[in-house]
């Protein structure tokens, strides 16, 4: 495999499958199988998952809710998703550890970088819950932060589009996909890869980002093997 240690970012919405809300067990099981393919090949896997299928702080704020309160609720949503994913991965035979940025010791380990790295070295999949533990930060930022901390080789952003396009492919039929971009290209062209905080953190630490379609079976293993799937952003 091209990558030895990855940080996989999954969106909370992806867990909904065809549902309007919550978690689709079928989708979870499919993701677990995709992850197992790379786990079996010895890739060390850390995962950050969003919470948008349950609660979004920003959406709460736009409905009049206090932003900070909403963001903490969103962090708890990522813990719920992390627990669901942990269950699915263990059902598929993998060892996992869930670490949370907010302490909820009855259900998860607190986030400790050195412990996380040790788990990864032992072949355990480490899921990071509760984002960065701070309001006003996205789970994309949490993904890059944890990726930098545990010295991942790459951030794999699994989404429902197959890469970065010249325009939104769901709205503009003439949009074309980029195979590779530099961080500077993304900024110059004003492309939307991650929010600015996450993107800048990745750029400053020269941590490449690959955006790919996680819903296409076999894609994750191809990405880890260095195949040109999705779009790679690098220095």
Q: Tell me the two tokens of residue 46.
A: 């850390």
Burial status of residue 106 (CB atoms within 10 A of its CB: 0-12, 13-18, 19 or more) = exposed
168 in a labelled binding site:
yes
Question: Which of residues 80 and 233 has its CB atom nearest to ligand GTP in the complex?
Answer: 80
> Apex CA 58: angle with CA 57 and CA 62, to 5°?
120
Which of residues 20, 106, 114, 173 is near ligand GTP by CB under 6 A? 106
> What is the nearest approach in angstroms of ligand GTP to the Cβ of residue 111?
10
> What is the nearest approach in angstroms of ligand GTP to the Cβ of residue 175?
44
Between CA 214 and CA 86 the distance in angstroms is 18
Q: How many residues sit close enough to ligand GTP to count as binding (CB under 6 A)?
A: 9
Decide if residue 114 touches ligand GTP (CB under 6 A): no
Backbone phi, psi, residue 97, to 5°: -140, 135
Which of residues 30, 109, 149, 213 is near ligand GTP by CB under 6 A? 109
165 in a labelled binding site:
yes
> What is the nearest approach in angstroms of ligand GTP to the Cβ of residue 126?
10
Residues of this chain that interact with ligand GTP (CB under 6 A) are 97, 105-110, 118, 122
């Amino acid at each position: 495999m091209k990558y030895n240690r990855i940080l996989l970012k999954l969106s909370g919405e992806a867990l909904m499958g065809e549902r309007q809300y919550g978690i689709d067990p079928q989708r979870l099981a499919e993701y677990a199988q995709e992850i197992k393919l790379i786990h079996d090949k010895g890739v060390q896997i850390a995962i950050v998952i969003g919470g948008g299928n349950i609660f979004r702080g920003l959406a709460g704020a736009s409905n009049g809710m206090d932003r900070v309160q909403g963001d903490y609720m969103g962090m708890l949503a990522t813990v719920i998703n992390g627990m669901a994913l942990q269950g699915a991965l263990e059902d598929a035979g993998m060892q996992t550890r869930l670490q949370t940025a907010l302490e909820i010791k009855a259900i998860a380990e607190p986030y400790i970088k050195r412990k996380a790295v040790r788990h990864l070295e032992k072949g355990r999949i480490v899921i990071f819950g509760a984002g960065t533990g701070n309001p006003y930060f996205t789970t994309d930022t949490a993904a890059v932060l944890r990726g930098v901390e545990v010295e991942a080789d790459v951030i794999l952003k699994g989404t429902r589009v197959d890469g970065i396009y010249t325009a939104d492919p769901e709205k503009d039929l003439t949009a074309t996909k980029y195979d590779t971009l530099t961080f500077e290209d993304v900024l110059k062209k004003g492309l939307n890869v991650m929010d600015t905080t996450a993107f800048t953190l990745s750029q400053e630490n020269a941590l490449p980002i690959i955006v790919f379609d996680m819903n296409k079976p076999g894609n994750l293993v191809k990405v880890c093997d260095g195949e040109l799937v999705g779009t790679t952003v690098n220095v």
